[in-house]
Amino acid sequence: MVKAGFLLKKLLANKLRINLFVIGVMLTLLAMLALPFPADAGGNESINRQHSPSADAAAAGGDGNGFQTTPENAYADGGGYAVDIASGTGNNGDPTAGQTDKHNFYNYGISIPTGSAISGITVRADIAVDALTYNPYTAIRLSWDGGTSWTTVTVSPPDKYQTLTATAETTYTFGGSSDTWGRAWTAEELSDANFQVQVINGDTQNGSSPRNFSLDWLPVAVTFTSPWDSYQSDYSTVWGDQGVNGAYNSSYTTVYMNGTGFAATTYNVAFYDAGASGGQKVATVTDISLTGGELRTSLYLGDKTSFTAGTWHAVASPPAALPSPRPMMRLPAPRIPIACSPMTPST
């Protein structure tokens, strides 16, 4: 009877130790699940690139000549003015009607990876006007098929339509980084073969406009998320070592990157080949400083001819924008001390 009682007492003690240990492990797991786990860094960040036109043509409407004086001056900032003199004919209060002067700008050289998600398009227009009488305005619309179709412009409430507020050159912004102008865009629709920007000038006078409009610059910024991992990018170009702009040939041994518009710091530059879905990351060159205000670097490929030829891409990022992800914590499997002490009967 004494031995039986002793055995029962030992069994109950062991069971209690086991239950307390299991409860402790469960409480620890619950506490750790309540803690915020760090997310992996990187992966498909939004990129914004700005481009300028390199071609133009007056469109039908108004007096038919658009910016009749030096329209090419709108290709760059501060290079003089493209001038629309005595804009339009008749009542040109309706921007898209036949009485307003219109001018198309294109060949922006926009090249983004196929499969990118385009979240916004911003058009900047640096405009001056000779007087504010009759409420002069500028409207902007975009084409995705070479000028056959256009996005919409509304006067009230104003959308892609702005009444000019000063005679001196002033920057007016149309659209934005999260504004897709009422449609879904593809990378192909932003190519030189398809993408155009139309500038429309007019005023609210019930008759021909006496206003003279002067356009200094008409850049376009596209905000998109690439299908490859990226963090931050300014406009950049990549070309082969024989000077073929924007293309890499498998006979080349080096590709180069030359980017403008970068802040004065050091950068990591990731190179992507021209493969499907935006290409594959080939390598990253680190700690590159600006040279003459530009970011210049290269990647030596040696005899690596297996990369896809065509347009390569480079993504430049300050080192601080590339945090290393912290490893997730893993718990070891618990060891439960069952029957951790031998049971010896008393004498």
Q: CB of 1 within 8 A of CB of 298?
A: no
Average pLDDT, the chain: 74
In a domain, 80, yes or no: yes
The answer to whether the bond into 53 is cis (omega within 30° of 0) is: no
**Residue 3, φ and ψ in degrees, nearest 5:** -65, -40
Percent of all residues in the chain with a pLDDT value above 90, rounded to a whole number: 40
- Decide which of 8 and 54 is more confident: 54
Distance from C-alpha of 179 to C-alpha of 121, rounded to nearest angstrom: 6
Banded model confidence at residue 108, pLDDT cuts 50, 70, 90: very high
Q: Both tokens of residue 82?
A: 């493209």
- Same domain? For 83 and 185 the reply is yes
At residue 239, does pLDDT exceed 50? Answer: no
Query: Domain containing 241: what range?
Result: 228-321
**Residue 346 domain-assigned?**
no
Same domain, 245 and 309: yes
Supply the DSSP string of 119-162, one letter for each residue.
EEEEEEEEEEES--TT--EEEEEEESSTTSS----BTTTTBSEE
In terms of domains, do 134 and 201 share one? yes
Q: Which residue has the tokens 């924007």?
A: 246
Judge contact between 161 and 155, C-beta under 8 A.
yes
Find residue 124's DSSP bridge partners: 173
Predicted local distance difference test score (pLDDT) of residue 264: 80
Phi, psi of 187 (to 5 degrees): -60, -40
What's the pLDDT score for residue 226? Answer: 65
The answer on 244 and 123 residing in a single domain is: no
User: Structure pTM?
Assistant: 0.61
**Which has the higher per-residue pLDDT, 189 or 284?**
189
Q: Within its chain, how far is the Cα of 298 from the centroid?
A: 23
Q: Is residue 342 in a domain?
A: no
